[in-house]
Amino acid sequence: MTVIVTGGAGFIGSNFIFYMLNAHPDYRIVCVDKLTYAGNLSTLRSVMNNPAFSFVKLDICDRSGVYSLFEKEKPDMVVNFAAESHVDRSIEDASVFLQTNIIGTSVMMDACRKYGIRRYHQVSTDEVYGDLPLDRPDLFFTEETPIHTSSPYSSSKAGADLLVLAYHRTFGMPVSISRCSNNYGPYHFPEKLIPLMIINALGNKPLPVYGKGINVRDWLYVEDHCKAIDLILHNGRAGEVYNVGGHNEMRNIDIVKLICKELGKPESLITYVADRKGHDLRYAIDPTKIRNELGWMPETKFEDGIRRTIKWYLDNRAWWEEIINGDYQQYYEKMYKDRQKA
Ligand code: NAD
Ligand code: TDX
């Protein structure tokens, strides 16, 4: 079995590659990644010499490059993680989000149509459902919740999802989609909430909380997400969407305070800054379908996962220091310097 994993030099894709090489030692994994600012080859160092693994630097929008790769590798399955993934960047400039997330997805699926595929899996997000009100804890996203996006990022992911389902209906392509809640764990790029707060706290720098910090996210340890995708890939029904989440809702401010506590840093580092434009209030997944159909349940409790994650950032300083000492500095300056106090 040969599996093409796109975006495998990023956060979830790399964790998925580690997971798959372990879980299916007889599979060949071919990682396709453009190595944007978010892709990091050093993340894959431990598997580079594994004969079951190979890396190809390629843009998923490069049609002839993708077709040549399919001709050479003859993949049985494709798991498409490759995407622009940061909401704040999509608010600054949506163009690359539309290009990679929508056009790139269509190129990957056209290659699957042309050369044949057992399964094309699209890694999507709960953000396609928009948000839920803070005062209705009884409401959750199900697979039937209407698509109702808030940001250019989530709109581009929703566009891709609709295209994937259209290829199933129109061409009978064997597709599946997972819509997962917020992930956390090793190799999470420093621009995202949890790694940003850990890294800033370690440097005794301000911890920029958007608005009042009361927005709620539903956090899942990355390995649990990887297990869910593996199950859907092998046992999920073609043409179906599966929500993935573990009923672990937390307010942003409570996460930041927990990180301060774990690192022994003062809460006085917390700085409230201007809110994100169009900031989604609450995400919360109902995972009944994947639990009932595929027996998936999250295994890592948040208290354990967050400690493991903090320890990983403490033990792997070289990985994130190289990032934050590069172009990331200009990004940080641009995004946070003039952010008015809330
Ligand atoms: P990430 O930003 O850490 O990684 C994205 C990877 O895709 C990088 O390695 C990057 O180099 C690569 N890439 C970007 N454009 C490319 C292109 N045109 N061609 C080839 N490679 C390209 O993202 P992540 O957090 O690991 O997210 C992975 C996927 O999971 C995304 O599709 C995202 O929408 C989805 N997702 C993420 C979360 C989350 O909490 N992080 C939750 C649900 C769904
Ligand atoms: O500096 C910050 N301060 C802050 O208060 C940052 C970076 C974020 N936040 C808030 C915004 C959100 O309410 O924290 C929350 C989490 O923010 P992000 O880490 O940017 O994640 P989010 O916008 O929720 O999106 C994530 O989950 C769904 C991923 O980045 C997406 O790729 C995924 O689809």
For 156, residues 6+ apart whose C-beta sits below 8 A from its C-beta are: 83, 84, 90, 94, 97, 98, 101, 102
**Which of 217, 243, 256, 275 has most ligand 2 atoms within 8 Å of CB, for mutation?**
217
Q: Are 252 and 266 within 8 A, CB to CB?
A: no
Return the ligand number nearest the Cα of 275. Answer: 2
Look up tokens 């372990």; give the residue. 22
Quick check: is 144 catalytic? no
**Protein residue closest via CA to atom 30 of ligand 2:** 86
Ligand 2 contact, 209 CB (< 6 A): yes
pTM (2 decimals)?
0.98
Looking at the CA of 90, which ligand is closest? 2
Between the CA of 82 and the centroid of ligand 1 the distance, in Å, is 5
Instruction: Please give the backbone phi and psi of residue 78, each rounded to the nearest 5 degrees, phi first.
Output: -130, 135
CA dihedral sign of residues 157, 301, 296, 79: positive
Q: Which amino acid is at 247?
A: H
Facing residues of 178 across strands?
A: 123, 242
Q: How far apart are CA 168 and CA 185, in angstroms?
A: 33
DSSP string, 122-188: EEEEGGGG--B-TT-TT--B-TTSPP---SHHHHHHHHHHHHHHHHHHHH---EEEEEE--EESTT-
Q: Kindly calculate the radius of gyration of the chain based on its CA atoms and give it in whole angstroms.
A: 19
Pocket test of ligand 2: the residue of 80, 193, 194, 335 to mutate, having most ligand atoms within 8 Å of its CB, is: 193
Cα(157) to centroid(ligand 1), Å = 11
Distance 232 CA to ligand 2 centre (A): 26
Low-confidence ranges of the chain (pLDDT < 70): 340-342
Find, among 176, 219, 180, the residue nearest to 197 by Cα: 219
The runs of H, that is alpha helices, within the chain are: 11-23, 63-73, 87-92, 95-97, 105-115, 152-171, 193-202, 222-235, 252-263, 288-294, 302-315, 317-324, 328-336
Instruction: For ligand 2, atom 3, name the residue with the nearest CA.
Output: 209
The residue whose CA is least distant from atom 8 of ligand 2 is: 193
Catalytic residue among 33, 84, 127, 249: 127
How close is the Cα of 339 to the center of ligand 1, in Å?
Answer: 26
**Closest ligand relative to 80 C-alpha:** 1
Which among 306, 305, 178 has a CA at the least distance from the CA of 244? Answer: 178
81 CB near ligand 1 (under 6 Å)? yes
Asked if residue 270 has its Cβ within 6 Å of ligand 2, the reply is no
Tens of pLDDT along 186-214? 999 999 999 999 999 999 999 999 999 99
Contact yes or no for 115/70 (Cβ under 8 A)? yes
Task: Examine the residue annotation and report whether 242 is marked as an active-site residue of this protein.
Answer: no
276 lines ligand 2 (CB under 6 A): yes
Domain extents in the chain: 2-341
Q: What pLDDT does 341 receive?
A: 62
Options 3.40.50.1980, 3.40.50.720, 3.40.50.300, 1.10.3720.10; CATH of 2-341: 3.40.50.720
Quote the ligand 2 centre to 211 CA distance (angstroms).
13
The answer, yes or no, to whether any atom of ligand 2 lies below 6 A from the CB of 251, is: no
- According to the model, what pLDDT value does residue 339 have? 86
Please say if 153 is a catalytic residue. yes
CA distances from 273 to 30, 209, 214, 267, 340 (A): 42, 6, 13, 15, 6
Whose C-alpha lies nearest to ligand 1, atom 12? 7
